[in-house]
Amino acid sequence: MILGIGTDIMEVARIRKAFAKTPGLREDIFTTHEIEYCESKANKFQHYAARFAAKEALLKAIGSGLQFGIRFNQIEISNNDLGEPFFNLKDQAKVFAKKKGIKKILVSLAHVKDYATAMVIVEG
């Protein structure tokens, strides 16, 4: 059963400017694994923007926002061997998902030169 759907779009330039303006912001939002992944890409800010959009879309889908002690860096996006993205929830995000009865989270990411987008479907 679908418990929630979320979507988000992010300007790539916005995340680039935010990182330049606010030291430590990257580490507040992304895990070490995500940072290593994005930094390895030629268009790293597109990848950061897509992952940020996915985190926002998930928070919309589960109806929590940044409440209940959930932090952005507790929501990690990884890729399987085929390159498909998936969520790895940690700490409070994992606890909240369990309380909500979330069994499966589907995520799709896309990015082009100036924009990144994500869609999330949460099933229980």
Catalytic residue among 44, 98, 111, 113: 111
Cα angle 82, 109, 69; round to 5: 105
- Residue 111 annotated among the catalytic residues of the structure: yes
Catalytic residue among 60, 90, 94, 100: 60
Amino acid at 62: I
Query: Helices 32-39 and 44-62: crossing angle, nearest 10°?
Result: 140
- Residue 47 annotated among the catalytic residues of the structure: no
Query: 68, 92 in Cβ contact below 8 A?
Result: yes
Spatial CA neighbour of 121 closest among 31, 5, 27: 5
Looking at the annotation, which residues are catalytic? 60, 111
